[in-house]
Amino acid sequence: QSALTQPASVSGSPGQSITISCTGTSSDVGGYDYVSWYQQHAGIAPKLMIYDVIKRPSGVSSRFSGSKSGSTASLTISGLQAEDEAAYYCCSYAGSFTWVFGGGTKLTVL
Amino acid sequence: QVQLVESGGGVVQPGGSLRLSCAASGFSFSSYGMHWVRQAPGKGLEWVAFIRHDGTNKYYADSVKGRFTISRDSSKNTLYLQMNSLRSEDTAVYYCAKEVIGYHAFDPWGQGTLVTVSS
């Protein structure tokens, strides 16, 4: 149950697009199409942004999109806005009703 | 709307025990599996435990297996986490989260309760 690998930080200017990667193994990200992404503003509970790699819950902006290739999943945020500044965590199902999170990525909107 | 409210956190000595509660409202509690997820200060998220909707099966992270027990009381719409043999590395904010039926995701999350293990 090793944590998935995410970059510690990414940054972008308003209006730009950024992509956050999430690398696992064939036992988690590479083995299942069950990657989810969570946004966490400072001091607040995480919020589901993407599930099943590419699906967006109702109410989540279409500026957020997900993808996966092999054992690496990605979250892309287009048209960056100041309110997007937060930490983002990926999570993958790892089999046998266990889940593993990434270490988190701090997004800074310049 | 769906609401999850955790309680029971506090300061406990190493080797001690604590029981966390998560009061659920706004949905049919007995129809959903529930998770506990924790976050050490300044660190990332760590999945801790999952219990199926009817309580028949329970699953744990290796880091807490044998020390923590997840349970639920559908008559009280409440989820529990019994934590024994606590260690300093268990210090974290503990969140409860509802499963998304049919999907491996957590939504929504409670506001969390802080557990500090220190002498």
Give per-residue pLDDT as tens, A81-100. 999 999 999 999 999 999 99
Q: Which chain A residues have a beta carbon less than 8 Å from that of B104?
A: 32, 34, 36, 51-52, 93, 99
> Considering CB atoms only, which of B35, B63, B103 is closest to A51?
B103
> Chain B residue closest to A88 (CA)?
B44
pLDDT score recorded for residue A1: 72
> Considering CB atoms only, which of A45, A93, A102 is closest to B111?
A45
Q: What is the dihedral of CA B59, B63, B69, B73, to 10 degrees?
A: -60
Phi, psi for A97 (deg, rounded to 5): 55, 50
- Closest approach of chain A CAs to the CA of B105, in angstroms? 6
User: Is the pLDDT reported for residue B96 higher than 80?
Assistant: yes
- Render pLDDT for A13-36 as a digit per residue (tens, 0 to 9): 999 999 999 999 999 999 999 999
- CB of B8 within 8 Å of any CB in chain A? no
- Closest approach of chain A CAs to the CA of B91, in angstroms? 16
Residue B22 CA to residue B102 CA, distance in Å, equals 22
pLDDT score recorded for residue B103: 86
Which residues have CB under 8 Å from B16's CB, separation 6+? B86, B117
- Closest approach of chain B CAs to the CA of A25, in angstroms? 17
First-to-last alpha carbon distance for chain B, in angstroms, is: 40
Contact A45 B44 (CB under 8 A): no
What secondary structure does DSSP assign to chain B, as a single string? --EEEEE--EEE-TT--EEEEEEEESS-GGGS-EEEEEE-TTS-EEEEEEE-TTSS-EEE-TTTTTTEEEEEETTTTEEEEEE-S--GGG-EEEEEEEEETTEEEEEEE---EEEEE--
pLDDT score recorded for residue B11: 98
pLDDT score recorded for residue B102: 84
- Render pLDDT for B24-60 as a digit per residue (tens, 0 to 9): 999 999 999 999 999 999 999 999 999 999 999 999 9
pLDDT score recorded for residue B101: 86
Please give the share of chain B, as a percent, with pLDDT higher than 70: 100
Q: Give the CA angle between residues B14, B35, A68 to the nearest 5°.
A: 115
Average pLDDT estimate for A67-76: 98
- Render pLDDT for B59-70 as a digit per residue (tens, 0 to 9): 999 999 999 999
